[in-house]
Amino acid sequence: MRTRFGSLAKDLWRDTLGDAGRVSTEVEVAAPPQRADTTFLPNPAGRALLKERGLLGRIAQAECMLEAFHDTPDPEEVRDCHRKYLTWRRTLSGAVDPALWLVVAGDPRAARKAFHLRRLRGWPDGVYAAAEGFGLRLLSVSALPVSRDTLALRLFGRGSVLKTAARELLALPEGAWELRLLPMLLRWRTEIPELPTRRTPDEEDFVSNAQQILDQWERRATDRGVDKGIGPLVRLFERRLSRTLTTDEHKALRSRHWHPGP
């Protein structure tokens, strides 16, 4: 990911992993100077939190470098990432054996072929690995199964993948850890140029999908606010009528509260 989606990826790693370990972005590695998108070193207490965060938490149970691509990386781009990974790996203690995870919106077939990436046994569809000694893992977002476990990672997707993930995100109950990603989407949406002519194709795709997500969330939040506001009125009417209000009566109260008039 070499567009503004790099910012989205770093924000997502910080918002989902920051309370479970040390998230570092723009990590400089020497010989020659390069920067890794993100590195993550879990802390002992954080590992328990990560167990509740689906596939993302499983990835982050061990030390790792995270590189995200909204476009499709070619073999040379994968080599660049692996070169950074090997240099960074040498800076760690010998007791640490980190992995390099490439999170890709699509399916980089050429790179999978060049590095002989194979399905990683015991992991869901869309997760691939090179020979063990390389430490290279690749996650194809478009190939992930649709489940709560993969939801956070599917927000990196495009088109229908992102739309499906958005619907699932908005349907989650209060307190779901994934809901921390909504402010991130809003924050990132505001950084994209308003004029379509100034947007990249990736940004245009994100805007068209993210705006729907945020509009739905705003309506949901407004509805909850109205419901909270009419709570005393509901209880008053129910006491006076000595019965529970019907669905139509609830709707009438909500409409009156939201659109006051004579």
Residues 60/40, Cβ–Cβ less than 8 Å: yes
Residues 169-191: pLDDT tens digits?
888 888 899 988 877 776 665 55
Full 3-state SS string of 128-162: EECCHHHCEEEEEHHHCCCCHHHHHHHCCCCHHHH
38-66 average pLDDT score = 94
Top pLDDT among 89 and 216 is at 89
Residue 128 has pLDDT above 90, yes or no: yes
Top pLDDT among 220 and 108 is at 108
Planar angle of CA 164, 59, 166, nearest 5 degrees: 15
Q: How far apart are CA 81 and CA 83, in angstroms?
A: 5
Residue entry with tokens 């006076």? 240
Strands 34-42 and 118-119: unpaired
Q: What pLDDT does 59 receive?
A: 97
Residue 76 has pLDDT above 80, yes or no: yes
17-39 average pLDDT score = 82
- Ranges of each domain in the chain: 5-224, 230-258
The closest of 63, 138, 88, 147 to 108, measured between CA atoms, is 138
113-138 average pLDDT score = 96
4 phi and psi, to 5 degrees? -60, -15
With a pLDDT cut of 70, the percent of the chain lying above it is: 69
Least confident span in 35-44, 86-95, 111-120, 253-262: 253-262
Residues 35/81, Cβ–Cβ less than 8 Å: no
DSSP string, 68-106: EESS---HHHHHHHHHHHHHHHTTS-TT---EEEEEESS
Q: What pLDDT does 262 receive?
A: 42
The closest of 135, 117, 132 to 81, measured between CA atoms, is 135
The closest of 123, 109, 117 to 135, measured between CA atoms, is 117
Residue 1 confidence class, pLDDT cut points 50, 70, 90: very low
Q: What pLDDT does 261 receive?
A: 42
153-165 average pLDDT score = 86
Residue 212 has pLDDT above 80, yes or no: no
Residue 259 has pLDDT above 60, yes or no: no
Q: How far apart are CA 167 and CA 59, in angstroms?
A: 24
Planar angle of CA 152, 178, 219, nearest 5 degrees: 110
144-164 average pLDDT score = 91
Residue 255 has pLDDT above 70, yes or no: no
Q: What pLDDT does 258 receive?
A: 41
Q: What pLDDT does 243 receive?
A: 77
203-221 average pLDDT score = 65
Give the chain's mean pLDDT. Answer: 81
The closest of 199, 198, 216 to 207, measured between CA atoms, is 199
